[in-house]
Amino acid sequence: AAGGNRYEMADDAADARAITRHSLTTALPAALERGEFFVEYQPLVRLGDGSVRGAEALVRWSHPQHGILGPDRFIPLAEHTGLIVPLGRWVLDQSVRQAREWQRLFGADEDVLRVNVNLSPCQLHHPRLVAETVEILERTGLEPGALCLEVTESALIGADDDLLKPLRRLAEMGVDIALDDFGTGYSNLANLRRLPVSVLKLDRSFTQGMQQFPADPVDLKIVEGIVSLAHSLDLAVTVEGVETGAQADQLRELGCDTAQGWYYARPGPADQVRALSLVDAAS
């Protein structure tokens, strides 16, 4: 009814009793084999000029009985059983191929559309992460700089050198690493220098705090402080959960580089990113 390719994901609270974790968990491997997962893309927009920078890949499960399930419903289950490794590999493969397709459509100059892919901690621990990522990039011909891997802050808390080594290898190859959900963990700001990250993704809770008008001055100061710290460490700042133009304006003034949120676009089919970029190019 809302038009476009929209749908509402099943409501967690209402369905939680009916769909047991157990039945979903046991259905996961066959679902992957049968191709029940699909990837949506949510555009990332440069705050400076509003142009599309790329998109974040977000996985969904088209469940034959329960309809479309969001990742919060099944990623924790997949992490628990280890299925996240093949599932994550599949998402990476899909997303990298999609980014390559965007390049074919738009050309492969420095303004190329980039794709962001979430990495779960289990994938980070997997010995073949680097080899598999290299394999996918080589097979598709996507240059590493067009890929950004998002790792949550909590996955890297207390990370020792063994855990950071694969990320360092990827960063040396030119893959961007983003620290996701930044500000929700127990960020040791000094620790940032040790991590091979080039992007901070400010968690939605910060943008939520800016929804009220006028925004809480303390919230604004905190964001301002994070941005200036990030920039002094040569990190770009992406904000998620931008829902209004007023928020976008404020975040631009605070110096954030890139934004993502419903104000620009909800997660959707790859064509949406393409359509937005075309509007962009025409204006």
Least CB distance from residue 88 to ligand C2E, whole Å? 5
Nearer Cβ to ligand C2E (118/277): 118
Binding segment for Ca ion (CB under 5 A), chosen from 32-40, 66-74, 146-154, 208-216, is 146-154
Our finding on whether 153 is near Ca ion (CB under 5 A) is no
Centre a 10 Å sphere on the Cβ of residue 243 and count the other Cβ atoms it contains.
Answer: 16
Binder of Ca ion out of 153, 180, 219, 257 (CB under 5 A): 180
Binding mask 224-263 for Ca ion (x = CB under 5 A): ----------------x-----------------------
CB of 277 to ligand C2E, least distance (A): 18
Whichever of 116 and 250 has its CB closer to Ca ion, that residue is: 116
The CA angle 223-178-43, to the nearest 5 degrees, is 85
Task: Give yes or no for a contact between 56 and 260, defined as CB atoms under 8 angstroms apart.
Answer: yes
Geometric angle at alpha carbon 25, from 22 and 26, rounded to 5°: 90
Task: Name the β-bridge partners of 258.
Answer: 46, 238
Residue type, 222: I
The CA distances from residue 175 to 148, 168, 198, 199, 253, in Å, are 6, 9, 9, 11, 28
181 binds Ca ion (CB under 5 A): yes
Q: Please, which residue, 27 or 178, has the CB nearer to Ca ion?
A: 178
**In the complex with ligand C2E, which residue's Cβ is closer, 43 or 196?**
43
Q: How far is the CB of 265 from Ca ion (least distance, A)?
A: 15
Q: What is the spatial distance between Cα 110 and Cα 45, in angstroms, rounded to a whole number?
A: 15
- Asked whether the CA dihedral 266, 245, 11, 22 is positive or negative, the reply is positive
Is residue 176 a contact residue for Ca ion (CB under 5 A)? no
Residue 258 contact partner, candidates ligand C2E, Ca ion, none, CB within 5 to 8 A by sort of partner: none
CB atoms within 10 A of CB 135: 13
Site for Ca ion in 81-140 (CB under 5 A): 118
Contact 173, 147 (CB under 8 A): no
Footprint of ligand C2E (CB under 6 A): 42, 58-59, 70-72, 75, 88, 91, 118, 120, 180-181, 240-243, 260-262, 267
CB of 46 to Ca ion, least distance (A): 18
Taking phi over 0 as left and psi of -120 to 50 as alpha, with beta for the rest, 272 belongs to alpha
- 171 or 203, CB closer to ligand C2E? 203
Residues that bind Ca ion (CB under 5 A): 118, 150, 180-181, 240
